[in-house]
Structure 1
Amino acid sequence: MKLSFSTFYNLPSSEARYELALNLIYEKFQPAHCLIGKFIDSDTRVKTVAYAVDGVKSNYIIYDLEGTPCKDAKDSQSVCSISCNLQQMYAEDEILKIFDIDGYLGVTLRALDHKPIGIMVCLFDEQIEISSDDKHWFRELSLLVGAELNHNLELAAQEILVKQLAKGERIARLSSWSWNISRNTHIFSQEMRTLINYPCEEELGFEQFCDCLIGKDQKALRILMQKLRTGQLDQVDINVSHKDRNQFKGLFRVIGRVERSEEQEDERVFSATIQDITYIYSLNRQLELTNVVFEHATEAIMITDHENRVVMVNRAFERLTGYSDTELLGRNPSVLSSGQHDPEFYKKMWATLSSQNTWKGEIYNRRKNGQIFPEELTLNIVRDDQGDVLNYVAIFRDITEWKRNEAQLTFYANHEPLTALLNRRYFMDVVEQKISASRSCSHPCSLLFIGLDHFKEVNDIYGPEIGDKVLVSVAKRLKNGLRKQDTISRYGGDEFAILLDNTNEDSALLIANKLSDKLRQPYVFNELTIELSASTGVAQLDYKHRVTAAKFIRNAAHALESAKRNNRGNVALHNQDIQNAHLNKIALRDKLRAAIKQKLLNVYYQPIIEQNSGRIVKFEALVRWFDDQQGMISPGAFIPIAEEFGFIHQIGQFVLERACLDLRHMHDLGFTDVSVSVNRSVNEFKVSNNQFDLISKAVEQAGVPYESLTVEVTESMATNRYTWELLKDLRDKGVEIALDDFCTGYSSLSHIIDNQVDYLKIDKSFVDSLMQDKNKQIMISCLVSMAQQLGIKVIAEGVESQVQLQMLAELGCDHIQGYYYSPARPLNACIKLLEEFNARGESTILAEIKQRY
């Protein structure tokens, strides 16, 4: 045994020693199973560290102690041997049944303090008898094995402790540093390399550690080390900054003290910890910054605990509410309640806060002095990792001034600044809402659209400042003349719109006239007195058709236009037929403007026949407009519109230039005796004072003789001195002048004599009634006789029958124009007509024309 024990101690590993012990046991007892195990899981189970079956090493096993003979052996202070009825005694032990075990030998392995740490067991497949000497031998062997197991368990515990310490250092970003001052040796724990990212294969000493510090902190640490060495200091607590490639990376805290060495009492050792406190330092700075923000924020901040008791308020809160922190700490924030919100409001607020962790809105609270004020409030919940409420944070600001400004902005957004009346946009919204409300209950509703007459003259004469005063006075008069339920707005510069609620057409007219009377009263500003009138359009809401606010107002505006057209200072009721006619005119105006721009107008020519010779001596140039949708549009429809809206000068110039070019074309074809006449409107002379230049330019650019152009002007221009002077200049150039629509205006014979013309054109209206009206026959006869004596030719327009032609011939009329011979034709048709005249003779062609038309 001694030899075996000596061999046991000399083996290189615990595994070899355990194996030797099992071999010795097998040589001694030949058990079927032999094992050495350690107690685990609070000594309730056994895990083998060595196991042999029939003397052969086998895999490790784990089994429960309860209900096994090992449990009794553990509780026993001696060797436990059982040689009969083993399976009956331990019926719950399945291992005994599986391996058919009949004998058991076991002893508890103990630590130096006699604490059970494991067990050594032999299992036999037959009953055995163990002598006291054998038990003694087994006991002695268990002491050796127990000592080995205890040593291994202590080593494992130390390894676990070291790993836990290393893990703790990693978690805490902490390293240990030991400096033997007497020997001047430094030892850093492994974590130090991680903290400064130092290679594992390189030596880490004090100098290398210092190299990772920034310059000023290196110097400070070396000074402290010197003081530790000389005994001036015995402990250190310092923060030093470390760097990475000369850039600031973080902060270390070095804490240590000088102690006597445990190994050599005459040696002094400085033991320290080095912790990376960058994150902690950053958190502290953030906390300091947060505290500064908290204390100096302009918004009031209140923090309550999970039971909604006040734990903290800032200075802004104290200023806004009048409460100090000591007055509120521990109290519920309901002390601030204004009483202006019902329970349902707070119920919804808390429901939102609980589900979304935040709530934001406007709320009214009460200051300490009792004053109620509006605030914009944001609530947030702070929860822990388990989702439980830690705190409630309320941030709010007094929005009293903001509310006041908002009200002012809303007012100015909806009102016109000069008169403080509703502006156009908001008035339209009100009208739209009123239409919807009135439609559901069929209440009558009327709208007045009022425009000041000749207000521009007030601004032009007296200046905009007086004009503004007039507008303010008008607004006051209108507002004072209305009922509470009526709505008034300044719709535009000098226009006002009024919505009369629950008012029928008759009542609306009465109110409109009453307001007109008020506005006619003089406006007195110091010594200045201004008199004005206003025109008013009245529209009634039509429930039969869906009417928008814009349409309703437009109806009243059209009625206003009608009132101004009839007689300013008047009141007019909206008439759909008149409006439709006006809209049609506007539509035709827009279409005409586009046609002019896109050059869709054409020039047709109606021949003028010399009565005696039957020759075509002249063509009157007439504008024609063919529209893809409406077809040929009558000049009687669009010429007045052109006159009214200022397009006539564009049309006139187009016809003039086109006629001159077409005349040049006819002359080039050999029809040099033919001339062309163009109409000029009085408005053309008003718009353009350079008619002489425009006409001359058109003639010269076309390259036709001035003598081949006739300018037709209306009789109403005969009294205009400037026009006649311009026409005289043209006549001096060779241009012939024709007086159109003669006998329909108010010209005098003296004007005709004084301002010579080349042609007089008898209007179609005279020709139409020629056969029925003897007086007109006499008048034309006198006119022709007078013209012949003055050397003026006479052209009869609108001749449509043989009877008219014969009568005009008898009366001595020189020239005939009308459908009897030909309507207005395109240029190509006119050229063809001229060619036929040359080829077949005038009398033949005239006869065919008469039959054709």
Structure 2
Amino acid sequence: MSSTGDLWGIASIVLDYKSILSDSGITSQNHLKIGLRGKNASGTNGEIFFGDLSIFDTSPAQLDINLPYGSWRIAAEPIEGWLTYSINLVVWSLALVIFMITFLILRQKQNIELLHRDAIKKLLESEQRFRTFFKDHDSVMFLIEQTSGKIIDANDSAIEFYGYSHQQLRKKRIQDLSGFPIDKAESEHARSLDIEQKFSVFPHKLADGTIRQVEVHTSPMMVDDTPILFSIIHDITKRVEIEKKLQLDAKVFENSQEGVLITDPNQRIIAVNHGFTAITGYEEADSIGKTPAILSSNRHGPEFFAEMFSQVDTLGFWRGEIWNRRKNGDVYPELLSISKVEDEYGELINYVGVFSDITRLKQSEQRLERLAHYDALTGLPNRLMLKSRLKHAIGLAKRQDSKLAVLFIDLDKFKIVNDSLGHVAGDELLKQVANRMSDRMRQSDTVSRIGGDEFVLLVEGVAHLDDLILVAQDIINDINKPFMLSGENEVFIGTSIGISIFPNDAKDAENLVTFADAAMYRAKQNGRNTYSFYTESLLQQADVKLKLSVQLKHAIEQNELELFYQPQVDLLTGALTGVEALIRWNHPEKGLLSASEFIELAEERGIIHDISKWVLEQGCKQLKVWQDRGFTGCLSLNISPRDFGFGDFFNDIKQQIEKSGIDPKGLELEITENAIMKRADAIMELFKQLKELGVSIAIDDFGTGYSSLSYLKHFPIDKLKIDQAFVKEMHTDLSDSALIETIINMARGFNLTVIAEGIELSEHASLLIELGCDQGQGYLYARPLPLGDVEALSKTNHWALD
């Protein structure tokens, strides 16, 4: 066939197949039976040209050999035929087992490969999730090299909490963040690796220097054969503070000297402290499950306790004095405070009672009252007690429309006995005089010694003038009888008596005593050893008061009032600690009047509040000037008890403070002790408001009233002022000195400053320093001075007022 596809002709090839078979080795082998047959191009089987035809029917082994335009098919089988095998169950079973084991091993291997690939995939996914979790979590997290403490990584919360950048944190060790010194930080880090508990509490310092308490939770792990710590850090500063407070509260509860008991809403005791046991004698086992009624003294009726718990339910607390009974049966006074405790929903969960044994306080109170109101030598009421009883008697006489009399008694020739026989004999004589007069008078009358050889007799229920003459003459007769003193010294003395009558001569205690004193001098002028009545017209006094009150109303408008200033000093150093402002009235006719000459009248006529507001305004203005110059002490302003009757009084004070721009810590308000006790509840509330403003509170004339010390304990006061009546004779009268010492010791117990008034002698100052008094004022340092004079004195003493 040509390249163009044209047929040129047919070529035939003759093969010597026998030679081919011989050369291939087929004919010479003796193990197989072999047969050959031809096969044309169309696939039709040809004749057998070698071997046996049956071979092609029995032999499975056949092979086609391709030739041009056809093929040979060769078949072969073993001469001895194909082998047959019988089934051996043991062998086949063993083979099957081996096959199954092999299959399972291969299958397990395949599963392991699959799990490995899956684990790798999950690991990658887990690592990604961890990175996301680590980076964005709200908790502070670190990855830390275990041995060195080096910070490997920090999340965003750590960056925000510590205030360092990510790069700065990675340059630090965890020890560098510790609030401990570095050596302790190292040891604490090492210790935290050893302990079984995998969290610790440390102080950590932030970038701005703030110390925070943190709780570190640590889990060890291996990364690339390196041991690291995965640390989660929680800020527990607030929790630590709360825990410390709870620990402190528990410690206070257990160690408080005051008794504490806690009850459930049904008033069953659930807890008591050691102070409770020490005071009551009841152990915890004696008290738990019982009610506070086990302490009842039976001195208070049901209405008392009903009122108590009514106040607790209404106000949330009750405070007051109560009598309770110890386990041994002793009854004792107690200062008790009861509070109710509610949950966040306002439900009552507990009552808490805190109390203290005030037996000693009561005893001190009684001793102080005795010292303050009774003459130490004779045991008679002193001037202060007389003043109190006289005021009470005047009130009673007004209600009963009756009369009373004051007899001012001065001993004649007493000085001769005192100088010739000595003070011991003089004291003995005074005691005998006191006894004679006490024996003479009725139980309803008051015999008092007001100083030296002066006595005052208060006679109530006077019906006739002749009765007073008899009383006076009997006293003169008794005193004229001889006195037998120690050492068989017989002495003779006399007495002069002045008499004033309420309401004929005066309607107030002070003037009654003053007028009786004046009448006594008239008796001395009349030859001594007699009596005299005070006879000045009441109408004339009334006219004088009326005219004075009218003038006083216009005093503010006429710019007649003025503030004088008296320095207050530190007794030890002499440094200026404050200034008391004292009002004066430049009266157009009478000249300069002190407060004692018109304040009581202002209170009687209802003018006092206008005067107080003027004093407050002027005082604040002057204090601002001094504060701007560097003055750091207090300016004391006196408050009238009548001011508390005005509802806007607190607002007046607050407005003046704001208007003047003063530092309120430099403003001190003084009120007398007696005024406090008359309106204790209202004044306590005002005092609390004033303390919130920053104003200081001082109690004036302390020791002259009847205040309960346990009650005063709860007033938010800063200073006690000892009345000048006690200071005046403290260097000669031991009772005054003892009283002052008692006041100072009591004030020290209440953490109060003490200032003494009326210091005129260096002996006064020395004794007060010895007794522990803090501050003082009086003529020894300076009289009350006008503004210009006190600033000049300040300049001389470098007191920062000028």
User: Which of the pair has more CA radius of gyration?
Assistant: 1
Q: Identify which of structures 1 and 2 has the higher relative contact order when contacts are C-alpha pairs closer than 8 Å and 6+ apart.
A: 2
TM-score, normalised by the number of residues in structure 2 = 0.46
